[in-house]
């Protein structure tokens, strides 16, 4: 026999997800596609302009042996791939 376990919170997952996504879009002031397309730094600049408050990112990683994980700013996956391509070329 196959059993499917569905928690009460999971019954309306898609409806809750869509509601949550709409709340994020309203709070940030960008569509979900714009949020996906922009780098974290661009989203940060947008939020600073929108709210007038400064935003800072903090690393949850220990500093010991890792150096500065965030460098001077958040690094996008495109930038990381570009660096890797440069190294491997």
Residue 85: pLDDT above 60?
yes
Contact criterion met (CB below 8 Å) for 78 and 72: no
- Name the 3-class secondary structure at 88: helix
CA nearest neighbour of 25 among 2, 55, 47, 57: 47
Q: What does the pLDDT look like over 18-41, one tens digit per residue?
A: 888 999 999 999 999 998 888 888
pTM of the model: 0.52
CB atoms within 10 A of CB 39: 15
Which is more confidently placed, 68 or 52? 52
- Are 32 and 25 in contact by the 8 Å Cβ rule? The answer is yes
What's the pLDDT tens digit per position in 6-21? 566 566 777 888 888 9
% the chain with pLDDT above 70:
67
DSSP state of 25: H
């Amino acid at each position: 026999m196959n059993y499917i376990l569905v928690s009460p919170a999971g019954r309306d997952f898609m409806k809750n997800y869509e509601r949550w996504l709409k709340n994020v879009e309203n709070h940030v002031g960008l569509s979900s596609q714009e949020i996906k397309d922009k780098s974290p730094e661009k989203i940060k600049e947008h939020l600073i302009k929108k709210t007038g408050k400064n935003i800072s990112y903090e690393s949850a990683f220990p500093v010991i042996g890792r150096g500065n994980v965030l460098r001077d700013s958040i690094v996008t996956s495109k930038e990381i791939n570009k660096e890797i391509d440069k190294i491997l070329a």
